[in-house]
Structures are given as C-alpha cells and as structure tokens.
Amino acid sequence: MKKFFKSRWFRIPYITVLYLFAIYGAFLTLTYFAMKFNWTRESGKLDSNNRYFQAMHDKYNQSFKVDSVSMVKHRYEVMQRIIVLNDFFPVNAQHILTAYQNTKDEKLALQMLDAVDLRLRKNKKYQRATQKIQSSKNKSQEETTGLSVFDWMNINEWKYFSEAVAKDKIYIDSAAAASGVDARIIVSCLVGEQVRLFNSRREKFKGFITPLKSLALETNLSYGVTGIKENTALKIERYLKDGTSAYYLGADHENLLDFDSITNYNNGLNDTMNVRLQRLVQFKDHYYSYLYAALFVKQIKTQWEKAGFPIDDRPEILASIFNLGYQKSKPKKNPGVGGSVFKINESEYTFGSVAFEFYYSGELAELFPFAKERFTAPKQAVQPL
C-alpha cells in the first residue's frame, strides 16, 4: 500500500488537487478582504456635463418668471422648439408635446427640451435652428409690453366696459340661445356701439360705465345698449313673420319678439315710450337689446346666404351692416367693412373694424368663447329673471 501512495499515479493528482484547493482558498480570502475594505470600488468622477445640469437648475429655480406675460412667452417658446425638434427627432418631439398637453406645464416642457438640447450639443444643424429661436427671443425682450396691440383696448374705459359686459353675460347668453346666434357675434356688435361712446359721449360714459360698471343706455333715436333704432326694431319683428321675405328665418323664429300683456317694462326713464322701446330701455335687464341685435344679424346673414354670398365667417361685415341698417345690406361678392366713423384717443376707427378687432382679439374669450358654429337653430327662448 505504501508503494502505491509513493507512486506517481497517486502523488501527481494528489498534489494537483491540493494546490487547487490552496489557490481557491487564497482567492476566497482575498475576495473577502477586498469586499470588506472596498478595494474593488472604482473611483468616481464628475460628469462632463455637470456645469450644464447646474446651469439648468439655476435657470428654472431662480430666473423662471411665472407672471402672465412671461408665461405666454414661455408657451410660444415651447411650441417653437418642439416644431424645430420635430424636424430632427419627431419621436422625442411627440413625447414632449404629449407631456405638455397633459400637464400644461411650460417649465417642465422647457426642461425636457433642454435635456434634448444637451444631448444634441454637437449636432450643428439642430444648434443653428435653435439659435435662431433664441436670437429672436433676445431681440424681442426689449420690445415686450403688457399692453394690447389694439390701442383702443388699452384705455381705462375698456377695463370698465369689460366689467360691465361680464355682468350682462346671463342676458347675452340667453339671447344667443333664443336666436341661435353666437354670443361673441352679439358682443362684437355691442362693442362697436359702446366703444364709439368712449369719446363722442365721454361724459355719459363716465356717468354710467365708470362708477356703476353698467353699459351706456341710449334713449334718443337709438335705444338700448346695442343702439337699436325704432324703425329697425319694427322691421326685425315684421321679417320674423314674413315668409316671403329674404330675411325670413323660419317658423321656429316667428314668435321670439311677440309682446305679452303680463310684464310691466315701465321705469323712470321710459314711461312715455311704447312697449317696444320700453323693452329696449331697461336699466339692468338688457335681454331685448341683445335679442333684437342677434335677430337682425341673423336676418342679414340669411339674406346674403340666399343670394349666394354667405358671410357667416365675416363678423366685420355683419357688424358693419348692423350699424348701417337694412338699406345698406346689398349682397355681393366683395362687401366692404365700414359703418360709423369715430375717434378714440385721436385715432380713427369704423364700427366694422372695431367689431373685427374685438372678435379676433381673444378679449373676453373666457366669457364668450369662439363657437364652432356661429349660427344654429334657436333653443328654448326663455328671458332670464
């Protein structure tokens, strides 16, 4: 047996296995101490873009303005940069656009775009495109103003007028529902009628709108807050029931201006007037002023439509004719914008141009939003209490 253990057939495999166990044991021992004393941990280093990360942090936590004027500018910047990114990486542009639409957070969207810009710092075409946006932004900063581009909306009277119109929303909306005319179209006619008083009847305007936040009420030749002439009111009523007229709106409109024997419209200002004018000359309830105006506009729209010259999408033409009257409503291919001429702060305007600028300005859109359809069938005609 001793001879066997001394033979190379036993000795060589034995020594080999012994060394292997020794090596394995040494490896386990070294691994233990390496893990215990962190010998294998790599030394950390700053990211090469660290200063950019810090700059972005400072930008959005110190210099990011959240006032209304700045937020509009941020919104425009977001959309411009998304459009540029879409030309290079539409997938990323779509992700950012979706996030912005869901959150309405300009700061978040700009941070997402900055992350993209950082990754594309070496993309020369992309950088040139974004630099154009930044250049335009820097150039416009000195020219930024909190005023409206429409000068006549920057005077104090417009502020008081806006407050007065807000108080009349219930009557305007009711007239819009009863007539099937977009409320913003009705207000465009109201604006033209009231704005011309800013200068021409300044004292009357100051007496009503400024202290009382109430619209100026006309009582001589033209009546109500929308300035309806008595002769015009008579025609509006007649055309509602005249099925042969080019202005006829249909059976569902015929009784909208019928008189009732229950309501008493008398007040200290209109007690010598007939019931028609009494309805128009009300101190607070201006429903009929708006309803007559709405029906007039819809009758004009119908006349032009039947003649083959639709003007549904021309609030400035509808307002011009509202101001000028039936006699000036002559359907044709290229109608002109105009009406009464008046001055505001020495600048000259026409009734139609003021209505146009108001309609498309976006002013008071929170109260009278843009409708998909400007003219529809009338809804339940109920005068607000």
Question: What are the pLDDT digits (tens) for 103-118?
Answer: 888 888 888 888 888 8
45 found inside a domain: no
Q: State the average pLDDT for the chain.
A: 82
259 found inside a domain: yes
Confidence (pLDDT) at 144: 59
- How far is it, in rounded angstroms, from Cα 359 to Cα 313? 11
User: Does residue 186 sit in the same domain as residue 105?
Assistant: no
User: Which residues of the chain, if any, have pLDDT below 50?
Assistant: 40-42, 202, 208, 210-212
User: Does residue 334 sit in the same domain as residue 222?
Assistant: yes
User: Does residue 160 sit in the same domain as residue 191?
Assistant: yes
Q: What percent of the chain is predicted at pLDDT more than 70? A: 73
> SS3 for 8?
helix
Of 96, 59, 66, whose CA–CA distance to 80 is shortest? Answer: 96
User: Does residue 99 sit in the same domain as residue 230?
Assistant: no
- How far is it, in rounded angstroms, from Cα 155 to Cα 151? 8
342 found inside a domain: yes
User: Does residue 246 sit in the same domain as residue 97?
Assistant: no
372 found inside a domain: no
Confidence (pLDDT) at 41: 47
End-to-end CA distance of the chain: 122
Q: Are 60 and 114 in contact (CB under 8 A)?
A: no
User: Does residue 185 sit in the same domain as residue 211?
Assistant: yes
- Give the number of domains in the chain: 2
pTM score of the predicted model: 0.70
**Residue type for position 368:** F
Confidence (pLDDT) at 76: 85
User: Does residue 99 sit in the same domain as residue 156?
Assistant: no
Cα 158 to Cα 5, 71, 150, 228, 385: the distances in Å are 114, 24, 11, 22, 28
User: Does residue 83 sit in the same domain as residue 202?
Assistant: no
Task: Give 350's strand partners.
Answer: 341
Confidence (pLDDT) at 2: 53
The range of the structural domain enclosing residue 168 comes to: 152-361
User: Does residue 131 sit in the same domain as residue 163?
Assistant: no
Neighbouring residues of 149: CB distance < 8 A, sequence distance ≥ 6: none
Cα 220 to Cα 70, 287, 299, 325, 339: the distances in Å are 46, 19, 25, 17, 19
Confidence (pLDDT) at 227: 93
Q: Which residue has the tokens 């070496």?
A: 122
261 found inside a domain: yes
CA atoms within 13 A on the CB side of 12: 3
- How far is it, in rounded angstroms, from Cα 206 to Cα 213? 10
- How far is it, in rounded angstroms, from Cα 191 to Cα 165? 9
User: Does residue 217 sit in the same domain as residue 323?
Assistant: yes
- How far is it, in rounded angstroms, from Cα 291 to Cα 175? 5
User: Does residue 227 sit in the same domain as residue 357?
Assistant: yes
Confidence (pLDDT) at 64: 64
User: Does residue 202 sit in the same domain as residue 333?
Assistant: yes
Confidence (pLDDT) at 287: 96
